[in-house]
Amino acid sequence: MVKNEEGGEGEVTSFGALCTALSATIGTGNIVGVATALAAGGPGALFWMIVAAFFGMATKYTEGFLAIKYRTIDEEGHVLGGPFYYIENGMGKKWKWLAKIFAFFGVCVGLMGIGTFTQVNGIASAVTNFFDPNTSWAIH
């Protein structure tokens, strides 16, 4: 699983593909979001997280299925795929504009939306709460 098989096809090891898939799925929101939801909503929030997870699993499966079904291989033999490809190839050439709009808004969200703001805020809050002498738990 960690290295490519002798004579196997592909550019990425099975382990590399697993790590990439997990890193795209599991993020800061999965850790901080669950704790925040339980703190704010109590045990009832757990029920709604399970309900939402079923819809999330269906979405994730569909995304992966379409990415594999409509992936292409470029002239150098590299595999290309993802939302831009399955929008254009799966829905037809007349929907190419939708793939471009999807890419544009994806970049906007990455740069001006979430990006790394969540991680930076989490680190800044932890450092501030730990080193601030005005907190209630500090020894005076």
Collapsing DSSP to helix, strand or coil, 80 comes out as strand
Tens-digit pLDDT profile for residues 59-90: 989 988 998 899 888 898 888 888 888 898 88
Collapsing DSSP to helix, strand or coil, 73 comes out as strand
Residues 89 and 131 both lie in one domain? yes
Which domain, by its residues, includes 77?
Answer: 70-140
Residues 56 and 74 both lie in one domain? no
Domains held by the chain: number: 2
How far is 23 from 17, CA to CA, in rounded Å? 10
Residues 133 and 84 both lie in one domain? yes
Residues 74 and 140 both lie in one domain? yes
Residues 95 and 62 both lie in one domain? no
CB atoms within 10 A of CB 127: 10
CB contact at 8 A, 113 and 100: no
How far is 14 from 20, CA to CA, in rounded Å? 10
Is there a domain that residue 1 lies in? no
Residues 77 and 54 both lie in one domain? no
How far is 14 from 27, CA to CA, in rounded Å? 21
Higher pLDDT: 17 or 100? It is: 100
Residues 14 and 79 both lie in one domain? no
Higher pLDDT: 21 or 64? It is: 64
Residue holding tokens 């002498």? 133
Collapsing DSSP to helix, strand or coil, 101 comes out as helix
CB atoms within 10 A of CB 21: 12
Tens-digit pLDDT profile for residues 105-118: 888 887 876 766 77
Residue 121's pLDDT band (cuts 50, 70, 90): confident
Is there a domain that residue 5 lies in? no
CB atoms within 10 A of CB 87: 21
Residues 77 and 49 both lie in one domain? no
